[in-house]
Homo-oligomer: A and B are copies of this chain.
């Protein structure tokens, strides 16, 4: 619970990998899959999703493959997760309206919606670029997170 799906993980890993290889015009799904030992076909589907959502550019044919559609600094972890797993809500009673109206139940939803927003904010503040900076992303991160908290 409160866990990223493997697909989202794979997606983040793939984007990170692409961000780390800016010199190559494109990398195939297989290239990335091999690099990480991820099932190639599965990763292919994930990359297709990311392409559909405008995070990647794809190119078929020989020497084709995928490349970031934008600068790694402008792609957030949130976007990636959202593209792969769809909109997320921390609460089980998903939408604002229906299911939970039955009972006066989800009085709990309102406070949790705030938590949800906070988490989304944190994920929005993390860029693919951040993922590639192995050492001491702490400073950047702290800064970003602080920003999020303040805007809540």
Mark A residues whose CB is within 8 Å of B: 1-6, 8-9, 12-13, 16, 36-38, 77, 81, 85, 88-93, 102-103, 105-108, 110-112, 114-115, 118-119, 122-123, 126, 130-131, 134, 137-138, 141-142, 145-146, 148-150, 152
Contacts and interface: CB of A to CB of B under 8 A. Distances in A.
A58 to B, nearest CB: 22
A9 B119 contact: no
Oligomeric state, in copies: 2
A34 B150 CA distance: 39
A105 B3 contact: no
| 9 residue pairs, one from A and one from B, having the closest CB atoms | A149-B149, A37-B103, A1-B85, A145-B149, A146-B149, A6-B92, A2-B88, A1-B5, A36-B105
Contacts of A103: 36-37
Contact of A5 (B92, B93, B130, B150): B92
A134 B107 contact: yes
B141 A114 contact: yes
26 contacts: A1-B4, A1-B8, A1-B85, A2-B85, A2-B88, A2-B119, A3-B91, A3-B92, A6-B92, A9-B93, A13-B105, A13-B106, A13-B108, A37-B102, A37-B103, A107-B131, A111-B126, A111-B141, A115-B126, A118-B122, A119-B122, A142-B152, A146-B146, A146-B149, A146-B150, A149-B149
